[in-house]
Amino acid sequence: MTASIYADVTMGSSAVGREQECEAFDIGIALMEAARAEPDSFDRTRDAARHVQTLWGFLIKDLSQPANDLSEELKANLISIGLWVIRETDAILGGHKSDWTPVIDINRTVREGLAT
Cα(55)–Cα(49) distance, integer angstroms: 10
Closest by alpha carbon to 21, among 102, 116, 94? 116
Number of domains in the chain: 1
Cα(26)–Cα(86) distance, integer angstroms: 17
Q: pLDDT tens-digit profile of 43-92? A: 999 999 999 999 999 999 999 999 999 999 999 999 999 999 999 999 99
Residue 4 CA neighbour count, 13 Å, CB half: 1
In this structure, of 2-6, 23-27, 109-113, the range with the lowest mean pLDDT score is 2-6
pLDDT of residue 34 exceeding 60, the answer is: yes
Please give the angle made by the CA atoms of 54, 47 and 5, to the nearest 5 degrees.
Answer: 40
Task: Return the H-helix or E-strand segment holding 88.
Answer: helix 72-93
Domain containing residue 76: CATH number:
1.20.120
What confidence tier does 115 reach under pLDDT thresholds 50, 70, 90? confident
Domain range for 14: 2-114
